[in-house]
């Protein structure tokens, strides 16, 4: 699986870690940054882990108006 730019996460070492999208960190493990309303910590990393036909989400972030759409868009990838 590739990220929002069509690249593996390892190919994006200079990218901003808070940039929205899906970033593959290992086979079957994907990082999805979602914004937080704070200057101290700008984003939370949600992890989507493939488990057969299912996805397990770890730390799905805060329930903010913009995060639901960003999470849906990343999972569509």
pLDDT tens, position by position, 15-64? 688 888 999 999 999 999 998 887 788 888 999 999 999 999 998 777 88
DSSP H helical ranges for the chain: 65-76
Q: Rounded to an integer, what distance in angstroms lies between the CA atom of residue 8 and that of residue 65?
A: 28
| 50 SS3 class | strand
pTM over the 0.85 mark: no
């Amino acid at each position: 699986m590739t990220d929002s730019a069509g690249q593996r996460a390892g190919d994006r070492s200079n990218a901003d870690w808070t940039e929205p999208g899906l970033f593959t960190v290992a086979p079957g493990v994907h990082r999805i940054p979602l914004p937080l309303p704070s200057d101290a910590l700008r984003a939370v990393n949600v992890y989507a882990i493939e488990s057969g036909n299912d996805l397990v989400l770890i730390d799905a972030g805060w329930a903010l108006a913009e995060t639901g759409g960003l999470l849906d868009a990343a999972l569509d990838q």
